[in-house]
Structure 1
């Protein structure tokens, strides 16, 4: 059994972060370990429900949260910088007493986790990156994201229609209901601004500074740059690396069982 508690934390800059604490129940003593799970751009914490339940069943305490600008957190925060996202995660870790924590992030959430492990090593026990790395710059990224968001035929009339378009039930579950249908639970401008620094900057120095055990997980049909994983391993040869068959960028949704087994093997 897992006990879950949802709450909201207010950061120093006034941003409200909606988070959920999945705590193992019925076990003696303290949890085996702690995890902080970070979702990707335009996503939400509910994407982790399946994985959080399985990790909690193994005796781990697991915290998920909606990043600033996403889900039930502040929709239009004062800033969307990489530093602000890193500080949000650090604030959660410190306020909820999670350290030393295993950071597990997908896509943009993985990038946040990477930067946090580099800048706050005392908070981090280990790092798991799903389809995320330090490569850049990516000048076309804001335009690509804007074009992608503008292509959504919102409002969706039903959740089934949304799932068929977006590709996963969890993505549809992140939408919000209004009188005329289902809409994205984010502000388009905020989402585009969130990737602004990735358009101009690479983060190889930060990657090289990380000292904790690290696992890089790729989807066989993911979207990482072809040469990025090899270069990551060249900078940090002790990084563990695995590819998940029949998975794209959303490894956690495409192949949740295979992802769980890869994580379980790594932390063992």
Structure 2
């Protein structure tokens, strides 16, 4: 999300490594949705003097949605990229096992970034993974664990419709035309919210903040520049 943060020039932006990722605890004991919510709440309380504009993508968007539901006093506006209330992307089955298996299949450690690119590909998402690899004495490793990612994905298998329906903050929901969700899921999610606007990105994937960056930055910046109505 660093390019997104840089696109919001003139604003103070905090980019949080969620538990299990990056510079945060890699193998936390608690991977519940409530633990993720509390992490964000503590960052806001510790770093900010008032309500914030909360932005997230995918799992991060789901966390942001739940924070807005749990602590409406802390969230001024909400932006959700490729998000829904929980459950599988198509409403028919779980994909957490496949996600965990994919990350577990990476031939780590990688000898160098060239080897990582050869294994992971050269698309925008793969490039972000390669750039984020952590250097250790034996080579390059991802800054997350496959088992942790799978476990977190499983906590999102229960739909949180009541929480989403309770969110009071003005919300921008952004979807990609080549993203994870069917049109029916997109429409039902947007319809279930209170103060919701939808934006669609063309030629984009679930990781639209990477492969449709200019469109994403434009809709995000425009929304955050607007006055917040009571």
Q: How does 1:1-268 map to 2 (within 5 A)?
A: 48-55=1-8, 57=9, 59-136=10-87, 140-163=94-117, 165=120, 167-168=123-124, 169-199=127-157, 201-236=158-193, 238-267=195-224, 268=226
What CA deviation, in whole Å up to 9, does each residue of 1:24-60 have, x standing for no partner? xxxxxxxxxxxxxxxxxxxxxxxx22221221x2x21
What CA deviation, in whole Å up to 9, does each residue of 1:85-129 have, x standing for no partner? 000000000000253101100000000000000110000001000
**In structure 1, how many angstroms separate the alpha carbons of the residues matched to 2:86 and 2:182?**
8
Shift in Å at residue 145 of structure 1? 1.6
TM-score between the two structures when normalised by the length of structure 2: 0.88
Shift in Å at residue 151 of structure 1? 2.6
**In structure 2, how many angstroms separate the alpha carbons of the residues matched to 1:241 and 1:65?**
25
Shift in Å at residue 237 of structure 1? 5.9
**In structure 2, how many angstroms separate the alpha carbons of the residues matched to 1:247 and 1:134?**
21
Q: Check conservation: 1:141, 1:198, Cα contact below 8 A.
A: no
Q: Check conservation: 1:163, 1:171, Cα contact below 8 A.
A: no
Gaps of 5+ in 2: none
What CA deviation, in whole Å up to 9, does each residue of 1:200-242 have, x standing for no partner? x111111100011000111111112442210022212641111
What CA deviation, in whole Å up to 9, does each residue of 1:59-92 have, x standing for no partner? 2110002111111111111211100000000000
**In structure 1, how many angstroms separate the alpha carbons of the residues matched to 2:2 and 2:49?**
19
TM-score between the two structures when normalised by the length of structure 1: 0.76
Corresponding residue pairs, total: 218
Q: CA RMSD in A?
A: 1.8
**In structure 2, how many angstroms separate the alpha carbons of the residues matched to 1:261 and 1:245?**
13
Residue 227 of structure 1 aligns to a residue whose secondary structure is helix
Q: Check conservation: 2:101, 2:146, Cα contact below 8 A.
A: no
Q: Check conservation: 1:135, 1:228, Cα contact below 8 A.
A: no
What CA deviation, in whole Å up to 9, does each residue of 1:222-268 have, x standing for no partner? 11244221002221264111111111011111121111110122122
**In structure 1, how many angstroms separate the alpha carbons of the residues matched to 2:182 and 2:110?**
32
More strand by share: 1
User: Is the alpha carbon distance of 1:211 and 1:237 closer, same or farther for their aligned partners in structure 2, counting shifts above 3 Å?
Assistant: closer
